[in-house]
Structure 1
């Protein structure tokens, strides 16, 4: 590795630590918001700007060109609804956008669906499957208002990561659910667009002598678990997916992010990115992460999108509960013998059945 590259990587490591520290502080503040007054909420995102951004993206003539990522994630989330062997009488899709989840929801799963979005244009631009009753409701994810104990299911795909006060949003969702109601949601995780982030940081360090976080802060899996638990959800299931999309260059990636309404225009700070910095970032991106096609020789760049999927239940007296501490019959140190233990337990049960 050359001396120049060594210096650059050292700078990247330092800037990454700075960004991680800022992100950690951001979510530490967010996680504590439930214990503070609203005046202490950190308003990272401008909700009015985000509303205009979504409306502009949805009203574009080629809006469907940029739906590929959200459609894929929406389909996967709808499939998780299908995995729950229950028909929900009343469900709400919060931040439904262009119906990336709702259009895949089967009438076998949901009887009535409330479509919620910040913009009327989104609500009028799609239909759900036949057999599902539909209501449309203008709603900002910052203020989720439903009748208490009225919903059986709440779904949300790629909208809650733009909320300033996640603890409050989760608490409002919990209050709106009936007992044993379900929250199913997907948000972008902390490793999303790490290639773009590091390339921009290196470019700014080289061209400007400093850096600014040009990518929105994303939450981590552990943060989501803590926030859901503090809100009051039980029986949590949290996992992650990674979707890697290839682009010709950094510029096509940034253009698609704008078309998806996922660009950073809603951040409450100056975001000017100098032209020379953009070209430097494109070159660094290609150098560090670019992959050449063995047949054509053309170089493309990967962009990683980490998806955090979450499932939480509102408490109900009949829900399964963990056994009391100390009542376990198998030690964790014997897990390597699990097959033998299961066979022994099954044999004992068969012997008891024969005696009876």
Structure 2
């Protein structure tokens, strides 16, 4: 008996069309450049010289600037990476669109040499929460229902657990939040399309949206998320995942009972058995 596959989150063909359209019009890469700058800083803090890097990305320009010698591969469902060929793999701002994010990370781990480093960056759950709430309020008020319009994005705790599921050692997840202001919600939505980050959900409604939806959402947005000078604010949460391909030289947790000294001695307190308590007559 075969196990049924969960329904796909992303319409990969629609996503490819959006990215191609964005590239033809001159894609907006400011978030990719922010992510690349952050990762470059993190690499500078690692006491290691990487000689065989690879970057998984749909927009290679910012990553070529920091790693000109890197192999660049698109974020296809099957990554064009050779097993054990790289000492560094960067999964760059596309993992949030993956139908199988654990599978993507497993492929990255297999592409790494022992003790090789993975750095992944993706959008987290706080991203565009203002736009999500405004669209939901507008659509529910106009139609009494909701349509999938913004990609659901993972929370940091859940995303960090993906590293362990994929077999990485020393996993770490952390987040960087950015607040960006726009003239209106329409300008924000136009920039999302320019980044190739429009609605490519497999479950999205194929019919045209009600004509009043986006003006009403923009009104709600301006009312609830105003910024100085008549602008509106938008949150982008970038989550960074760090993991290492396992190697015998890496630190490992101690076995239970292997401590060389008792905690009570270090604290200068009296150690009592766990079962010690009030006794009956």
Cα gap change, 1:233 to 1:283, in 2 (>3 Å): same
Indicate yes or no: 2:107 matched with 1:172: yes
Residue in 2 aligned with 1:72?
34
Does structure 1 residue 84 correspond to structure 2 residue 46?
yes
The match for 1:284 among 220, 225, 238 is 220
Deviation at 1:192, TM superposition (A): 0.5
- Determine which of 43, 50, 61 is the counterpart of 1:99: 61
Cα offset for 1:77? 1.5
Alpha carbons of 1:89 and 1:198: their partners in 2 closer, same or farther (altered >3 Å)? same
| Residue 52 (structure 1) aligns with | 17
Cα distance per residue 1:297-344 (max 9 Å; x no partner): xx1110000111010001001111122234275859x99x9xxxxxxx
Q: 1:1-356 maps to which residues of 2 (within 5 A)? A: 40-60=5-25, 62-63=26-27, 66-105=28-67, 112-117=69-74, 140-270=75-205, 272-293=208-229, 299-326=230-257, 327=259, 329=261, 331=263
> Relative to structure 1, is the Cα distance of residues 210 and 330 closer, same or farther in structure 2, using a 3 angstrom cutoff?
farther
Aligned pair in 2 of structure 1 residues 318, 292: CA closer, same or farther (>3 Å)?
A: closer
CA distance in 2, matches of 1:267, 1:173: 25
Q: Find the aligned partners of 2:62 and 2:262 in 1 and give their Cα distance.
A: 45
- Alpha carbons of 1:254 and 1:331: their partners in 2 closer, same or farther (altered >3 Å)? farther
Alpha-carbon separation, structure 2, partners of 1:204 and 1:50: 24
Per the alignment, residue 127 of structure 1 pairs with: none
The Cα shift of 1:41 comes to: 3.8
Higher helix share: 1
Count of aligned positions = 264
Alpha-carbon spacing, 1:330–1:267, altered in 2? closer, same or farther (3 Å):
farther
CA distance in 1, matches of 2:65, 2:212: 42
Displacement of 1:86 in angstroms is: 1.1
Give the superposition deviation at 1:189.
0.2
Provide structure 1 residue ranges, at least 5 long, that are not aligned to the other structure.
1-35, 118-139, 294-298, 338-356
TM-score normalized by structure 2? 0.87
For CA contacts below 8 A with separation 6 or more, give which structure has more relative contact order. Answer: 2
SS at match of 2:212: helix
Distance between the aligned counterparts of 2:37 and 2:100, measured in 1?
27
State the 1:275 CA deviation.
Answer: 2.3
Q: How many angstroms does 1:55 deviate by?
A: 1.5
Task: Give the 3 Å change call, closer, same or farther, for CA 78–42 of structure 1 in structure 2.
Answer: farther
Displacement of 1:266 in angstroms is: 4.8
- Name the CA distance, whole Å, in 1 between partners of 2:190 and 2:58: 22
8 Å Cα contact 2:151/2:201 also seen in 1: no
Contact 1:45 1:267 in 2 (8 A): yes
Displacement of 1:291 after TM fit? 2.6
Q: How far has the Cα of 1:248 moved from its partner? A: 1.0
- Summarize deviations over 1:67-110 as a string: whole Å, max 9, x none: 222211221112212221211121111015142233123x7xxx
